A and B are shown apart, each in its own frame.
Chain A
């Protein structure tokens, strides 16, 4: 909608024609021949001719304004979505090639959460195909025709080519932390080497520096190693060490989770599975109003009927 003006004309076409007009006026009659030769040149690099000899009426290239669905709001644009082929490639890399979501995200320039979601959705699609559930192909086609797309470029798989072309989205987004919203004047010695880490500590004692808060901290680390001119073997060894420590962390987390699960006694009676967990009476505290206390306690009001309380589920599974 933002691509059109009030008269319903494509703004970029109107603008291009106006520019041409201006060019013609400023050029005068001296270079008439060149004017005639390139009436749509700036907009139409591949000035294709129609078979009947007339110049093809090609459109000037789309700009950001042409992607704004709302004419009053240039800040919102219809951003491209992943094409079907791109999604299939993501699924292949994660499921068939066994790459981690993090690796695929970094190599393709797609957010990690999106990579995971795409894999999930493609899996469902395959399941539908398996059980012969009809896919909504016509609807899919129609919707994809209406949206800008990020197409899969096989050349992009190599590092150099990918740098040239733009990626689907920025993958290293640093969330703006609430603590950083304030402006702080911190007097400190002139000679102090004041880094991002120090700045984060000033904002909040527990705030991590930006290097650790971005989704892909490993990219900066790898780049640093390249700058240090480490040998390939050394970089490989470091990467392996990083992976090992990550794995260790994951193992610890899994073990903790397993321990927690094990503490719940499960009784399966076929229709239901009862789960018993240990409860301490003392959890209610001395005054009986502790948050961890369970059950109905005398004198403690139940808030579940009062206004503004959540009565609908807040999470599914």
Chain B
């Protein structure tokens, strides 16, 4: 069952995300009241709140298998001390070091190793967690998605397993565009609108974003060269390439084909059910067959290749003529056709029912871009709009999924830190996993919002002696 709220406000649960509600929850996070709870309840509670942050995306059983009671720690050693003493001074006197006058400052400086903060250290070894810790994703779940979607490489090879346990020295790279999307501010109103328009054009032309950008750049270059060499038109012709979009593949064309077939079917059905005229049985059969063919063709109009559609079209006109007959046009139908033609000057195909006009149009259509003009107009308008945006600010690109020019998302700085077991290079969106996280005196490398007491209770829960 899908959970209702990930960042709920009623019950404070701190999650592994950069969400603003999560930040609010962090400010409200407090130690659970344990006075009235049994030890078991305390452990349960500690486990519950810590697991909401540490590897929430991992199944409990999976984490239980990862859990280890061994906690890694290091003690920094001074090489000068190692050189000057061989350790025998600690065994002098009565076996616990020579007694020295009490030095309060020295005992104060000695800090305990926060071992309990290492409880969830094995989770930090996972690839998705490392990506999130390296500030390449805005949440652990998003990092996981990046891995699953193939946007992450480990040592130069694509790695699709978010549960891959990094080994010391592993270099992981995340696709820069994904990182910019994850860490960038979202698009605002106008950019969102223009972005949607770009998306629509892309969909209509059935090309990828890269190709669309290339096309737009090409058009722009062509226009520029056109302007530059206005006197010598032949030169401009050579330099500016015609757009490569196949009008045959065009959405507009297919849409019109569908409309044609629909009108033909409608017309045939009128004929079929017309009470004024009696039809022969053979004629009725012909009409039924035509309707059947036309309907099946209409359902496939967006799937078939263009050449077939083009061939089919003439055959349908023939069949329509044979079965329904072109000389029995209704007045209403003729009016409707006229109206449509007037309405949509681009779609000159309105007279589909009229076989003669159909045939006359056919050779023309193969030459001139059919429906292409619409897209071209759209594209020109779009280019204009983008140019206008560019005047406002440099580097504006509404086709990107984030606000351009790029800026970090709100509240990112509150969550920004890079633990020491990673060496990150944000410029190339790459990082190296240096070693497993360790605890050192007074300092932990496992980023956790919970104090040692809670961690200890959680640790005790997973020791499985309840």
Contacts and interface: CB of A to CB of B under 8 A. Distances in A.
Interface in B139-161: 154-155, 157, 159, 161
Nearest to B162: A312
A77 interface: yes
A209 B169 CA distance: 26
B434 A121 contact: no
A250 B306 CA distance: 67
Nearest to A225: B83
A211 interface: yes
Nearest to A175: B74
B26 A71 contact: yes
Interface in B76-108: 76-80, 82-84, 86-88, 91
Given A146-B413, A170-B440, A175-B72, 16 more contacts: A1-B27, A69-B414, A73-B448, A75-B443, A75-B444, A78-B416, A81-B418, A121-B430, A136-B176, A176-B72, A193-B88, A194-B87, A199-B87, A214-B77, A223-B79, A314-B167
B27 A71 contact: yes
Interface stretch (A55-63, A92-100, A110-118, A238-246): A110-118
Contacts of A312: 161, 163-164
Interface stretch (B200-208, B322-330, B419-427): B419-427
Which of A6, A75, A82, A137 lies at the interface centre, i.e. has the most chain B CB atoms within 10 A of its CB?
A: A75
9 contacts: A69-B449, A77-B443, A79-B419, A121-B432, A139-B408, A140-B427, A143-B416, A174-B77, A313-B164
A120 B171 contact: yes
A317 interface: yes
Given A70-B26, A71-B29, A220-B79, A143 B451 contact: no
A283 B78 CA distance: 48
A194 B86 CA distance: 9
Interface string A10-36: 000000000000000000000000000
A158 interface: no
A76 B447 contact: yes
Contacts of B91: 194
B243 interface: no
Contacts of A169: 420
Interface string B446-466: 111111100000000000000
B434 A117 contact: yes
Interface in B247-275: none
B75 A136 contact: no
B83 A195 contact: no
B450 A316 contact: no
Contacts of A147: 416-418
B452 A75 contact: yes
Size class of A's contact patch? 35 or more
A227 to B, nearest CB: 6
Given A113-B435, A175-B74, A196-B87, A75 B442 contact: yes
A142 interface: yes
A125 interface: yes
A194 B438 contact: no
Interface in A177-236: 178, 193-197, 199, 209-211, 214, 216, 219-221, 223-224, 227
B110 interface: no
Interface in B14-49: 23, 26-27, 29-31
A81 B113 CA distance: 22
Given A169-B420, A174-B77, A312-B163, A142 B83 contact: no
Which of A72, A170, A219 lies at the interface centre, i.e. has the most chain B CB atoms within 10 A of its CB?
A: A72
Interface in A139-187: 139-140, 142-147, 169-170, 172-176, 178
Interface of B: 23, 26-27, 29-31, 65, 70, 72-80, 82-84, 86-88, 91, 113-114, 117, 135, 154-155, 157, 159, 161, 163-165, 167-171, 176, 179-180, 183-184, 405-408, 412-420, 423-432, 434-435, 438, 440, 442-452
A114 B27 contact: no
A274 interface: no
Contacts of B168: 113
B78 A172 contact: yes
B16 to A, nearest CB: 12
Interface in A41-87: 69-79, 81-82, 84, 87
- Pairs A-B, 3 closest by C-beta atoms: A196-B87, A78-B417, A117-B432
A297 B172 CA distance: 39
Nearest to A218: B79
B125 to A, nearest CB: 11
A125 B428 contact: yes
A53 B168 CA distance: 56
B74 A173 contact: yes
A1 B88 contact: no
Contacts of A214: 77, 79, 82
A136 B180 contact: yes
B30 A111 contact: no
Contacts of A170: 76, 440
A76 B444 contact: yes
A175 B31 CA distance: 32
Nearest to A172: B77
Nearest to A74: B451
B450 A72 contact: yes
Nearest to A78: B417
A233 B182 CA distance: 58
Contacts of A257: none
B155 A317 contact: yes
Nearest to A216: B79
Given A77-B443, A125-B427, A220-B82, A113 B161 contact: no
B183 A139 contact: yes
Nearest to A69: B417
Contacts of A113: 168-169, 434-435
B83 A220 contact: yes
Nearest to A87: B425
A172 B80 CA distance: 11
A136 B179 contact: yes
A136 B435 CA distance: 26
B322 to A, nearest CB: 58
Contacts of B79: 172, 214, 216, 219-220, 223
Contacts of A120: 171, 432
B448 A210 contact: no
A314 B417 CA distance: 27
Contacts of B438: 173, 175
A79 B420 contact: yes
Contacts of A197: 86-87
Contacts of B26: 1, 70-71
A135 interface: yes
Interface string A294-317: 000000000000001000111111
A69 B76 contact: no
Contacts of B414: 1, 69
Contact of B157 (A118, A176, A317): A317
A173 B434 CA distance: 14
